[in-house]
Structure 1
Amino acid sequence: MSKATLKTIAKYTGLSVTTVSRALKDGDDVKQPTKDKVKAAAEYLGYRPNLSGVGLRTGINYNICAILPVTKPGDIVGDVGTLALISGLTAGLEGTPFHLTVLPLEPDQDPLESVKYAVENSLAGGIIFNLTRTQDERVTYLYEQNVPFVTFGQTEMTVDHAFVDIDNYDIGYQAAKYLYEKGCRNIKLISSSQEYTYAWHKYYGVKRASMEFGTKFDKDFDVIFDTDVNNYRSFSKALMEQNDAPDGIICGSEISACGVIAGVQDAGKVIGNDVAIIAVETCDLPSFFIPPIPGLRQDMHSVGTKLSEFIVKSIEGTPISKLKYVEKTSLHLREGHYIIENV
């Protein structure tokens, strides 16, 4: 079957090409029943607008470029939330003329390099990127180039920009509060690199909870950055064999939690008696751990959808003040969650 065009729809519906075009654009001068008829015909005939032609007429690049990090060499699973994020990014563009391109960011690649590549090669009318830093040069560059963008994560810059984020301050607070309420008094936070803004938000959330419960929590002694860990299993085994072994651990992902659980058990410790563990999660994987552990669930599909919605609105001229969103996580308790007896 040849590719459907406006003329194809016009012939099928008995309407003029002009009416079909206006109906597909939701023109105010076209009645709703006609719009519904045209859109139904377009769907049935498999019509897709010629984005190159539309772009030439409107001056808009209808490609959205999401720059996302790829799996590091040696990673067993990678980031299990990436697929849900991409699925959400795609869903957020449904019903619009925009389409998604994912540009991989290699582990040792300069993050600004990918952004410049997308801009200098006119790959996108709008850019989405994550792993934001407090002072992020990608934000400055895109602002100066006048390219619409939305960040997954916040910064602490004077440049006002659109963003979607997860409330990592609340994650840190809720995770630590959960452990303290279970009787833990010596907890550790496994965190992403301190170069990222969300790592600091999470730390301050844990710090707040520690102050409320009258316990000590110090960045230099109680935060474990993943850049300092090559193998979570061996690392946690050594950690639990220390005299001052923690009685509570906050894992930054399902993958780190998997390694920590194995290392704790290698050290001959019992999860639930010697140490409590809670994870930041993007799926139900922690329910399959032995024992199952509670988690604070991030809805990456929802985040991806919101990111796409915001980049489209940014391109269309929506004020930045209306393009800022922080999503809460939900606590998932599971059978076998435990209480640490504080001696």
Structure 2
Amino acid sequence: MATITDPPTPDSDTQRPTLKTIAAATGFAIATVSRALKDAPDIGEETKRIVRETAEQLGYRPNRAGVRLRTGKTNVIALVLSTETDVMNHTSRLIYSIANALRGTAYHLIVTPFFPDQDPMEPIRYIVETESADGIILNQTKEDDPRVRYMHDHGFPFAAHGRTSMGIDHSFFDFDNEAYGRLGARVMAERGRKRLLIVPPPRAHMYARHMTFGFSDECALRGLPFEVSQDITSDSGGEAVEAAIAARFHQPNPPDGILVGSTTSAMATIAGAESSGRVLGRDFDVVAKEAIAVLRRFRQDILIVREDVGRAGEFLARALLAEIEKRDWTDRQGLEVPVKVEQRPPGREVEDKT
């Protein structure tokens, strides 16, 4: 078996290590080194480990201009994100998990933001038309999403964090927000809450439709009156959400159970309700989902549903690489279904038995 030897000394400080340098250091053929660095499925894991460690020791970096000339590829994955997303919790975890899944491959990640006043098609068109990436990961999908249609029509590889209902078969991973809405309404009803409110994501997004339907249908099945916030969404920003919830709690018949669509809106909702003198866990409940454990540090009595965004990012990265490299990949579409709500005291959980 090939072993790692002391790396050969370059002729000068400006000489870049190449595939040939790695091949000389490991004893593998240049073709084997090349395929190992590309994470080819026909190369053994031990061989890949040796090649990657040697490449790192040597400071090897592929010449991307040369790669593009030879293969027409950039070895770049673009993650296109709205600046309105919940950066503190959801988005940071998504970026980390995608980048981590790409470690040890020939690909690296770039994050391309778009702003609330910007056409979300602009970054998609730019990347596709300039061929500045080999594939795109996007989120906050819509029921009829022009970005998905555009990339599908242009044969451009992509994967979506979220679903559509366009009849287009594409790679995606999604959190089952309908199940989340149902589970949240159910646990609040079981805790004796009588008037429920949902602060959903922006209504144009597909997951807002799923979440609102699950919540409202569960309330209807249980005969519970409910409200859907009209002036704010879970992406409205902390100040706007806090002010709107505070105003609602100073009106007659305020809600005593609230389901929200983001971590930031959960904290703002609690602050707004508490400004009226109510106490979380005693006078009202809040159900929130989170990707990173921060809410329990804010208030012990929040009802929490975990969302494994790390799993989503890894799934999307691997599904997209399979699309780019035209490999068969059976797990092109994934769905995380929440089944429990974490309550205080620790260990006391309500499980979805349906």
How high is the TM-score relative to the length of structure 1? 0.85
Give CA deviations for 1:277-296 in whole Å, capped at 9, x if unaligned: 11122222211224541211
**Secondary structure, counterpart of 1:150 in structure 2:** strand
Q: How far apart are residue 45 of structure 1 and its match?
A: 2.2
CA distance 1:147–1:222, change in 2 (3 Å): closer
Larger displacement relative to structure 2 (55-64 or 253-262): 55-64
- Runs of 5+ consecutive residues of structure 1 not aligned to the other structure: 339-343
- Distance in 2, matches of 1:279 and 1:200, equals 17
- Distance in 1, matches of 2:69 and 2:289, equals 45
Contact 1:173 1:208 in 2 (8 A): yes
Q: 1:53 aligns with which of 66, 77, 89?
A: 66
Q: 1:184 aligned to 2:197?
A: no
**Secondary structure, counterpart of 1:231 in structure 2:** helix
Match of 2:242 in 1: 233
One-letter amino acid of the structure 1 residue matched with residue 261 of structure 2: G
Q: How far apart are residue 301 of structure 1 and its match?
A: 2.1
1:1-343 mapped onto 2 (5 Å cutoff): 2-13=15-26, 17=30, 20-21=33-34, 37-71=50-84, 78-217=87-226, 219=228, 225-226=233-234, 231-318=240-327, 322-329=331-338, 331-335=341-345
Match of 1:341 in 2: none
Higher relative contact order (CA 8 A, sep 6+): 1
Pairs aligned (count) = 333
Larger displacement relative to structure 2 (165-174 or 234-243): 234-243
**Secondary structure, counterpart of 1:55 in structure 2:** helix
Larger displacement relative to structure 2 (299-308 or 226-235): 226-235
Contact 1:189 1:223 in 2 (8 A): no
Larger displacement relative to structure 2 (111-120 or 227-236): 227-236
**Secondary structure, counterpart of 1:326 in structure 2:** strand
Larger displacement relative to structure 2 (182-191 or 12-21): 12-21
**Secondary structure, counterpart of 1:235 in structure 2:** helix
Q: How far apart are residue 168 of structure 1 and its match?
A: 0.7
Q: How far apart are residue 95 of structure 1 and its match?
A: 2.2
Contact 1:191 1:223 in 2 (8 A): no
Contact 1:190 1:250 in 2 (8 A): yes
- Distance in 1, matches of 2:177 and 2:345, equals 25
One-letter amino acid of the structure 2 residue matched with residue 254 of structure 1: T
Give CA deviations for 1:23-78 in whole Å, capped at 9, x if unaligned: 65678998887666545433432333333323332333311111111258xxxx85
CA distance 1:270–1:257, change in 2 (3 Å): same
- Distance in 2, matches of 1:248 and 1:334, equals 16
- Distance in 1, matches of 2:235 and 2:42, equals 59
- Distance in 2, matches of 1:32 and 1:257, equals 44
- Runs of 5+ consecutive residues of structure 2 not aligned to the other structure: 1-12, 349-354
Identity of aligned residues (%): 35
Q: How far apart are residue 306 of structure 1 and its match?
A: 1.3
Q: How far apart are residue 109 of structure 1 and its match?
A: 0.8
- Distance in 2, matches of 1:141 and 1:28, equals 31
- Distance in 1, matches of 2:89 and 2:42, equals 47
Contact 1:67 1:105 in 2 (8 A): yes
Q: How far apart are residue 140 of structure 1 and its match?
A: 1.1
Contact 1:161 1:320 in 2 (8 A): no
Contact 1:187 1:222 in 2 (8 A): no
Q: How far apart are residue 276 of structure 1 and its match?
A: 1.2
**Secondary structure, counterpart of 1:65 in structure 2:** strand
Contact 2:196 2:225 in 1 (8 A): no
CA distance 1:310–1:157, change in 2 (3 Å): same
Contact 2:77 2:136 in 1 (8 A): yes
Contact 1:286 1:294 in 2 (8 A): no
Give CA deviations for 1:115-173 in whole Å, capped at 9, x if unaligned: 11111221111111111110011111111111011111111102221111111111111
- Distance in 1, matches of 2:174 and 2:62, equals 32
- Distance in 1, matches of 2:281 and 2:260, equals 15
- Distance in 2, matches of 1:31 and 1:195, equals 46
Q: How far apart are residue 13 of structure 1 and its match?
A: 3.8
CA distance 1:13–1:263, change in 2 (3 Å): closer
